[in-house]
């Protein structure tokens, strides 16, 4: 108990210490004056002064008590509130990430016809890559949303979790997943540019299809560190 009080005092800011050093002696002095005054009947007929003296005396003891004790009692509640806030932030951005990931998974399924495609002639090839271009163009928003949502999970949710004793967890090494999200996004951009210029992106497709499937399969969660 004594050690605990010493720890509290040692961690108290200098200004708070000064207030306590002034308030407590003032309170004790006023209390002594009040007791002596009662004994000597100084306060007879002076109800206002009596109430004022009592209030100031109580305040002189209440201020240090509030600064030293009540503030400490409030700390666990503040810590718990901050933890709940961090959890809400993490849940928000992980939910947005999961929604974007589901859209990317849908895009991956919509493009399965292209994986391993070998056109019989140039007309079939042109039609296939035009279809790929239109599909990517109309679904480009999901690539943006995945990239942005993951950036917010990493940049906003993860630090808040770490500050509150929790850790972001993914089913892939998280740094590798950072690279996968970025490479898949840039691969999609290169394919879109190539198909726009009527240049079949064969060299890019196989790796990109694999990355697209993989990026939409990684799960994210959080737990206590």
C-alpha to C-alpha distance for 117 and 207, rounded to whole angstroms: 14
Q: Poorest-confidence range of 3-12, 165-174, 193-202?
A: 3-12
Give the per-residue pLDDT at 21. Answer: 76
Q: How many CB atoms lie within 10 A of CB 123?
A: 9
pLDDT tens-digit readout, 107-117: 888 887 776 66
Any idea which residue has 């010493």 for tokens? 6
Compute the distance between CA of residue 222 and CA of residue 87 in angstroms, rounded to an integer. Answer: 9
What is the average pLDDT value for the chain, to the nearest integer? 82
Instruction: Give the sign of the dihedral formed by CA 163, CA 166, CA 168, CA 174.
Output: positive
Give the mean pLDDT of 71-77. 67
Summarize pLDDT for 40-57 with one digit per residue, the tens: 777 677 777 777 777 877
Q: Which helix (H) or strand (E) holds 17?
A: helix 14-40
Rounded (5°) CA angle 88-92-94: 115
Residue 224 bridge partners (DSSP): 166
Residue 135: its H or E element: helix 122-138
Maximal C-alpha separation, the chain: 116
Count, residues in the chain: 225
- Mean pLDDT, range 74-91, rounded to an integer: 83
């Amino acid at each position: 108990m004594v050690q605990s009080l010493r720890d509290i005092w040692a961690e108290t800011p200098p200004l708070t210490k000064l207030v306590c050093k002034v308030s407590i002696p003032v309170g004790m002095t006023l209390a002594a004056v009040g007791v002596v005054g009662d004994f000597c009947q100084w306060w007879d007929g002076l109800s206002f002064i009596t109430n004022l003296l009592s209030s100031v005396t109580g305040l002189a003891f209440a201020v240090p008590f509030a600064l030293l004790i009540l503030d400490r009692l409030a700390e666990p509640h503040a810590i718990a509130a901050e933890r709940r806030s961090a959890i809400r932030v993490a849940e928000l951005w992980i939910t947005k990430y999961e929604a974007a990931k589901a859209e990317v998974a849908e895009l991956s399924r919509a493009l399965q016809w292209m994986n391993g495609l070998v056109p019989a002639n140039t007309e079939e090839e042109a039609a296939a890559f035009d279809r790929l271009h239109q599909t990517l163009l109309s679904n480009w928003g999901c690539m943006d949303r995945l990239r942005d949502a993951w950036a917010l999970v990493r940049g906003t949710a993860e630090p808040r979790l770490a500050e509150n004793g929790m850790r972001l967890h993914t089913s892939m090494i998280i740094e590798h997943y950072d690279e996968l999200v970025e490479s898949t996004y840039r691969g999609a951009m290169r394919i879109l540019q190539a198909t726009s210029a009527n240049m079949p992106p064969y060299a890019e497709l196989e790796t990109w299809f694999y990355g697209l499937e993989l990026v939409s399969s990684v799960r994210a969660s959080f737990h206590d560190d």
